[in-house]
């Protein structure tokens, strides 16, 4: 497996160092990637850097839903619900293979968070604000109808339910495809490049970023007319580097999700249900697994290393066992987990779950622009607000004008598809190829929902390997990721490009050595480097499956 990726990376760094940008984006999560695409598609020269891998922070650790935030109606955040509700439909249309229609069941229970009349009205308003039409509009179900939809629910105290439309996604894959689309519009993006400090002119206005390539251990400078920090939980850290940390600040809330086998928790639909402390939890079926989350607790630990702990696990398992009393989930049923941080805007006197999910823009006296808060669903509008701001500044200061935002018409890589019907048609055709390759059939949906039509290139490459089918597939995916998605390390593949660390964790041990061998050949690793990468994967396997490992 040979690649020119290392040479291409050095060439990209040379380009970043040589040219002056219109906009530098710090942070390769969903917000930064969205900003890069929006700006580049309008004609700006854009450079983006990310100190770890793309989507390695919050943008690979959400509940993985493109949803409107029903509970925000209770907080009277009407504008937020309207905006993100409508954004769901746009992103689904742009990437129906990545943003999948998912019916959500909202059980109504005695003394619960949502009353029957209020829920009926709220869901109707929700549909109206989001522009939901036809079969996707909410339906109110009585108790027998609810039990028919989901027989595992607790009957005692059940009053009925609301049945409404949401969308499931893979947040990391969404981010990666945005980065790739931005590259097609001439944006230069690199992972594993840290912003170590800022560069200033004589008036102490920020004009650039001093960078450190963490792979090649090379320092270089990037210069730009404007710089935006979209660094998520690290936004305040960068404001401190800019000596502009004052006024509003971030409040970090930890969210945890647990993964169990679908056989152990075989729900028919996604369920959004009450917990005894007044909070709400999602249980979401996904191919061979069901995942449960999220918690919402204040966090003041190491933001570079966020882990699930026993309290998180106990809370979520108790919540499931209370609402689904015949399931009896135990610690040993947890096969994987993930924990991430929400960078909320601090509000005095409010708990983590009460704080607004609205995004806010901060601008320092130096000119550094920062954006924080917000929701996965609203990434496109967050990007638009930033790029509108930058475009307005260019117009005033230089008389330069740029196009209006048109990211609502830029289809994602892996398409295009004619809606969900087009995705399903492609999926059925791919199932035939999967059978011929002797892979288990679930790999058809795994490939389509990760890669869309790019699955064809992966399967063609897979046919060139003589390994067992699952190993050959992983090698083909790694080849595709190195050539097209800036994979540098095994965890880039296992976590952010394929989701195996969370959704197919048991396959990693089978394919690990082959993946390490291919990456070692590709990047000319030393024996020591290969061993270090293997140990890092094993550490993350241990942490993801923390409870299982700690009990054996």
Q: Are 346 and 249 in contact (CB under 8 A)?
A: yes
Q: How many CB atoms lie under 10 A from the CB of residue 453?
A: 17
Model pLDDT, residue 269:
94
Q: Tell me which residues of the chain have a pLDDT lower than 50.
A: 1-3, 547-552
190-238 residue pLDDT tens = 999 999 999 999 999 999 999 999 999 999 999 999 999 999 999 999 9
Give the whole-angstrom CA distance, residue 508 versus residue 190.
26
CB crowding 346-383: b at 16 or more within 10 Å, else e: eeeeeebeebbbbbeebebebbbbbbbbbbbbbbbbbb
Whole-number pLDDT of residue 436: 93
Work out the end-to-end distance of the chain between its first and last CA atoms, rounded to an integer number of angstroms. 37
The pLDDT value given to residue 550: 37
d(CA 453, CA 455) in angstroms, rounded, equals 5
For residue 216, give both structure tokens.
């090649």
**Phi/psi of residue 219, nearest 5 degrees:** -95, 140
Structure tokens at 416: 């295009």
Residue-by-residue DSSP string for 16-48: HHHSEEEEEEE--SHHHHHHHHHHHHTT--EEE
Residue-wise DSSP of 187-216: -EEEESEEEEEEEE-TTS-EEEEEEEETTT
Q: What is residue 552's predicted lDDT score, i.e. its pLDDT?
A: 33
For the stretch 324-364, pLDDT in tens is 999 999 999 999 999 999 999 886 666 666 666 678 999 99
Cβ neighbours around 204 below 10 Å, total: 10
Instruction: Note the pLDDT of residue 71.
Output: 66
- pTM across the whole model: 0.94
pLDDT of residue 549: 37
Instruction: Find the largest Cα–Cα distance for the chain.
Output: 72
């Amino acid at each position: 497996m040979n690649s020119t990726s290392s040479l291409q990376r050095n060439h990209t760094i040379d380009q970043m160092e040589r040219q002056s940008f219109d906009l530098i984006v710090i942070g390769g999560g969903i917000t930064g990637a969205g900003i890069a695409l929006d700006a580049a598609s309008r004609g700006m020269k854009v450079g983006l850097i990310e100190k770890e891998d793309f989507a390695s922070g919050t943008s690979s650790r959400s509940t993985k839903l493109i949803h409107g935030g029903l509970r925000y109606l209770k907080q009277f955040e009407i504008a937020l619900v309207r905006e993100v509700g409508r954004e769901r439909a746009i992103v689904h249309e742009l990437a129906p293979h990545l943003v999948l229609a998912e019916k959500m069941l909202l059980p109504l229970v005695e003394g619960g968070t949502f009353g029957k009349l209020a829920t009926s009205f709220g869901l109707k308003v929700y549909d109206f604000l989001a522009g939901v039409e036809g079969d996707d509009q909410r339906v109110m179900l009585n108790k027998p109808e609810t039990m028919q939809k989901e027989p595992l629910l607790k009957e005692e105290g059940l009053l009925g339910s609301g049945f409404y439309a949401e969308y499931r996604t893979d947040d990391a894959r969404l981010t990666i495809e945005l980065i790739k689309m931005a590259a097609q519009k001439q944006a230069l993006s690199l992972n594993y490049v840290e912003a170590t400090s800022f560069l200033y002119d004589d008036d102490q206005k920020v004009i650039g970023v001093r960078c450190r390539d963490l792979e090649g251990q090379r320092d270089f400078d990037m210069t730009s007319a404007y710089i935006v920090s979209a660094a998520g939980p690290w936004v305040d850290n960068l404001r401190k580097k800019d000596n502009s940390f004052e006024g509003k600040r971030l409040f970090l809330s930890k969210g945890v999700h647990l993964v169990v086998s679908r056989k152990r928790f075989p729900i028919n639909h996604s369920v959004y249900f009450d917990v005894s402390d007044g909070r709400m939890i999602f249980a979401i079926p996904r191919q061979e697994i069901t995942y449960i989350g999220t918690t919402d607790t204040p966090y003041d630990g190491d933001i570079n290393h966020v882990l699930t702990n026993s309290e998180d696990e106990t809370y979520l398992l108790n919540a499931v066992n209370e609402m689904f009393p015949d399931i009896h989930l135990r610690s040993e049923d947890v096969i994987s987990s993930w924990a991430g941080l929400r960078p909320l805007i601090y509000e005095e006197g409010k708990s983590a779950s009460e704080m607004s999910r609205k995004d806010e823009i901060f601008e320092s006296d130096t000119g550094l622009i920062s954006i924080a808060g917000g929701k996965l669903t609203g990434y496109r509008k967050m990007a638009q607000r930033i790029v509108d701001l930058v475009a307005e500044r260019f117009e005033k200061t230089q008389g330069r004008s740029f196009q209006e935002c048109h990211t609502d018409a830029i289809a994602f890589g892996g398409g295009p598809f004619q809606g969900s019907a087009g995705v399903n048609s492609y999926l059925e055709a791919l199932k035939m190829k999967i059978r011929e390759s002797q892979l288990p059939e679930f790999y058809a949906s795994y490939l389509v929902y990760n890669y869309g039509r790019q699955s064809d290139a992966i399967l063609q490459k897979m046919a060139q390997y003589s390994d067992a089918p699952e190993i050959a597939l992983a090698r083909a995916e790694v080849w595709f990721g190195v050539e097209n998605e800036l994979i540098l390390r095994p965890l880039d593949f296992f976590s952010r490009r394929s989701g195996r660390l969370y959704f197919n964790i048991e396959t990693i041990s089978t394919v690990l050595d082959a993946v390490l061998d291919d990456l070692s050949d590709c990047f000319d690793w030393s024996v020591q480097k290969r061993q270090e990468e293997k140990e890092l994967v094993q550490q993350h396997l241990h942490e993801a499956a923390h409870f299982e490992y700690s009990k054996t």
